């Protein structure tokens, strides 16, 4: 027996399950909204090429258009100015081994329920480590906020001073990077808090994590189905030449407790 055949057996028996952390690519799914003067993120769009009709009698297919950062998506280091020179920092040059790895899930849902602007601080991370042990090096860290349960305008939560959604403080990001994490993922539309432009540095998750050559995941869901530790994350972006990110299917493998 090999490790992989053991894995297949476990999956067949149901003791290892696949959790889908991905939102459906839907034209109605929100994208990040930047100030009107900036370029904007394209929403997901699909146009029918044919549908078993005169344009193609036996087949149906669509042309798609979207941004690299539409829907559940991956951020490569070169997405941010701080990571522009990161080695192997684009979607087509990242070592594919990075796309499969261990994951820690920090449950920040209670704080997020109390405040739209809940900020993850080092204290929260230290408290998590006190309970679950230190965050291992080269591990994905996902921030569970249950934000993916929100629908419509409540998801972006735009007000006249911008979006309001939870995210990490610069100090928290620095602490995670001290732990040597592989990447950081959230349920919100970005890895940063809605009001993160007011941090120093602004958008610390983007600035610091990509500056360190690490990766981001956003618009995740079903984080409430993952254990704090012990799951394996599969997140392989499309191999876009010089891509700064990519919509992708994010999966997690979890072990069911023995019956």
Partner 1 sequence: MTDTPPKRKDPRQRTPVPLLPPVQRSRAALGLTLAAAEGRFALQGCAECGAVQYPPRDACRACLSTDLTWREVPNGGRVVAQTRIHASPDPYFREHLPWRIGTVALDAGVPVIAHLHAAVSRGDRVRMALRLDRAGQGVLIALPDIEGSAMTSDPTLRAMGTDPRHRRVLITDARAPESLALTKALLAAGAAEVRLGEPETWKAWDGRAAFDGLAAVSLHPLDVTDTGSVRDLAAGLGGKVDILINTARHERPGGVMTGDLTRARDEIEVGYMGLMRLAQAFGPAMAARAADGVNSAAAWVNILPVQALAHDPGFASTVAAGAAARALALSLRAELRGAGVRVMNAYTGPLDDDWHQPLPPPKVAPKALAQAIVAGLCDGLEEVHVGDIARDLADRWRRDPRLLAREMEGGLS
The residue within the footprint of partner 1, chosen from 47, 95, 131, 161 (CB under 8 A), is 47
> Does residue 39 touch partner 1 according to CB under 8 A?
yes
**Peptide bond before 201: cis, by omega within 30 degrees of 0?**
yes
Q: Which of 107, 98, 197 is nearest to 139 (CA)?
A: 98
Binder of partner 1 out of 6, 8, 24, 48 (CB under 8 A)? 48
Q: Does 219 bind partner 1 (CB under 8 A)?
A: no
User: Minimal distance in Å, beta carbon 44 to partner 1?
Assistant: 9
Which positions from 10 to 29 touch partner 1 by CB under 8 A, shown as an x/- string?
Answer: -----------------xxx
Smallest separation, CB 68 to partner 1 (Å): 12
Q: Judged by CB, which is closer to partner 1: 155, or 199?
A: 155
Judge residue 179's burial from the number of C-beta atoms within 10 Å of its C-beta, 0-12 exposed, 13-18 middle, 19 or more buried. Answer: middle
Render 19-33 in DSSP notation, one character per residue: EE-B----TTS----
Q: Stretches 9-17, 157-165, 166-174, 206-214: which one binds partner 1 (CB under 8 A)?
A: 157-165
Residue 232 engages partner 1 in binding (rule: CB under 8 A):
no
Long-range contacts of 125-129 (CB under 8 A, 24+ apart): 125/172, 125/175, 125/176, 126/175, 128/104, 128/228
Each residue of 22-60: b (16+ CB within 10 Å) or e?
bbebeeebbbbeeeeeeeebebbeeeeeeeeeeeeeeee
Residue selected from 1, 3, 36, 258 as contacting partner 1 according to rule CB under 8 A: 36
- Judged by CB under 8 A, the stretch of 10-18, 81-89, 149-157, 171-179 that binds partner 1 is 149-157
Active site residues: 79
Nearer to partner 1, 160 or 200 (CB): 160
* Rg of the chain over all Cα atoms, to the nearest angstrom: 19
Q: Which residues bind partner 1 (CB under 8 A)?
A: 27-30, 33, 36, 39-40, 42-43, 45-48, 152-153, 155-160
């Amino acid at each position: 027996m090999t490790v992989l055949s053991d894995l297949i057996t476990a999956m067949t028996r149901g003791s290892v399950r696949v959790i889908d952390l991905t939102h459906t690519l839907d034209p109605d799914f929100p994208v990040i909204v930047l100030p009107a003067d900036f370029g904007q993120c394209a929403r997901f769009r699909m146009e029918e090429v044919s549908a078993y009709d005169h344009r193609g009698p036996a087949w149906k297919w669509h042309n798609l258009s979207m941004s690299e950062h539409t829907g559940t998506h991956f951020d490569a280091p070169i997405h941010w100015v701080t990571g522009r020179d990161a080695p192997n920092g684009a979607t087509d040059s990242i070592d594919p081994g990075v796309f499969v790895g261990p994951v820690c899930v920090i449950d920040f849902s209670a704080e997020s329920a109390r405040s739209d602007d809940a900020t993850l601080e080092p204290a929260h991370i230290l408290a998590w480590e006190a309970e679950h042990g230190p965050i291992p090096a080269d591990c994905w860290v996902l921030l569970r906020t249950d934000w993916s349960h929100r629908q419509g305008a409540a998801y972006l939560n735009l007000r006249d001073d911008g979006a309001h959604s939870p995210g990490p403080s610069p100090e928290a990001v620095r602490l995670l990077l001290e732990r040597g994490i592989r990447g950081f993922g959230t349920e919100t539309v970005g890895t940063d808090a809605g009001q993160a432009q007011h941090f120093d540095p602004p958008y610390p998750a983007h600035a610091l994590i990509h500056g360190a050559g690490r990766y981001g995941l956003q618009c995740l869901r079903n984080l409430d189905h993952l254990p704090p530790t012990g799951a394996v994350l599969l997140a392989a972006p499309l191999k876009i030449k010089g891509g700064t990110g990519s919509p992708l299917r994010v999966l997690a493998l979890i072990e069911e407790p023995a019956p």
